[in-house]
Chain A
Amino acid sequence: MTPQSCVKIREEWDIVSARQLGREMAKKLRFSTVDQARITTAVSELARNIYLYAEEGQICFEVLETADHKGLSVSATDTGPGITDISQVMQDGFTTSGGLGAGLPGVKRLMDEFDIQSEVGQGTQINTVKWIR
């Protein structure tokens, strides 16, 4: 197991730092160019959600290695207001911020695995994985 690398999300520029680290790790793991772009975009969406809705949180990366698979785990954790209706935020086009509403359903399509847990008043935890093909 490799240690986690995390980026704290507090201000807008941290979104850029998170996606730069995401791209760097994806490149190091030799993901295809398209998958590098997918991972970087997913990181950007996750980081922006933290910045917009929770104000503070972090994005963590971890290299995953199983017997015949290698991948990158990207997780987003915040202690924000939480999400009341998860099925609603997973709908394309749903937004409370005037954005495109492409964020979370988009991240789900960009990554191979996607899991979201949220408790109102406690925060939100999203775990995603992209496997190297």
Chain B
Amino acid sequence: MSIPILKLYNYLLISIQTEIDDKTAIQFQEDLLDKIHKTGATGVVIDLTSVDIIDSFIAKVLGDVITMSDLMGAKVVLTGIQPAVAMTLIDLGIHLQNVATALDLEQGLIKLYQELRV
């Protein structure tokens, strides 16, 4: 199973809709970096509205892919993290510091637009 990555102008949009297993997560990491490389995208929004659990492994994969994208010159914003997921992440001791977030896809795109316009 792979997670679809959509291109919109300079941005890549990802909405994670399925239960993520470890393999899918790693595959997504590779696919996203590959797509950034191919399209020259400067901004990425990963929407997590439909994700109802993030455990320490998925959190690590997400954190890593954000750092990797940053190294390649693309800024990532995470959007739509559910209240229960936010609370669980803090219980786990995972703070995802230095990660840009926004309430929803729309806010995420606005954030990217404002930051990348310069």
Residues of A near any B CB (own CB < 8 A): 12-13, 15-16, 19-20, 23, 33-34, 36-38, 40-41, 44-45, 48, 92-93, 99-100, 102-103, 105-106, 109-110
Assess the B19–A110 pair: CB atoms within 8 A. Answer: no
* Stretch with Cβ within 8 A of A (4 or more), from B5-13, B54-62, B110-118: B54-62
Extra contacts, 7 of them, besides A41-B54, A93-B93 (Cβ < 8 A), are: A16-B19, A20-B19, A34-B83, A37-B87, A37-B88, A48-B57, A100-B60
Distance between A104 CB and nearest chain B CB, rounded to angstroms: 10
Residues of B near any A CB (own CB < 8 A): 19, 21-23, 52-57, 59-60, 82-85, 87-88, 91-94
Main secondary structure of the interface of A (DSSP, over half): helix
In the docked arrangement, what's the CA distance between A72 and B25, Å? 29
Assess the A34–B87 pair: CB atoms within 8 A. Answer: yes
Main secondary structure of the interface of B (DSSP, over half): helix
Distance between B51 CB and nearest chain A CB, rounded to angstroms: 10
- Assuming A12-B22, A34-B87, A99-B60, is B93 touching A44 (CB within 8 A)? no
Distance between B73 CB and nearest chain A CB, rounded to angstroms: 26
In the docked arrangement, what's the CA distance between A48 and B87, Å? 21
23 chain-A/chain-B pairs, Cβ below 8 angstroms: A12-B22, A12-B23, A15-B21, A15-B22, A16-B19, A19-B53, A34-B87, A34-B88, A37-B87, A37-B88, A38-B88, A38-B91, A40-B53, A41-B54, A41-B88, A44-B53, A45-B55, A48-B55, A99-B57, A102-B94, A105-B93, A106-B56, A106-B93
Taking CB as reference atom, which chain A residue is nearest B56? A102
Distance between A113 CB and nearest chain B CB, rounded to angstroms: 15
Enumerate chain B residues within 8 angstroms of A44, measured Cβ to Cβ.
53, 55, 57
Distance between A45 CB and nearest chain B CB, rounded to angstroms: 6
Assess the A41–B92 pair: CB atoms within 8 A. Answer: yes
Which of B19, B23, B55, B82 is in CB contact (< 8 Å) with A41? B55
In the docked arrangement, what's the CA distance between A109 and B52, Å? 19
Taking CB as reference atom, which chain B residue is nearest A92? B93
Taking CB as reference atom, which chain A residue is nearest B21? A16
Enumerate chain A residues within 8 angstroms of B22, measured Cβ to Cβ.
12, 15, 48
In the docked arrangement, what's the CA distance between A68 and B56, Å? 33
- Assuming A105-B93, A109-B91, A109-B92, is B84 touching A45 (CB within 8 A)? no
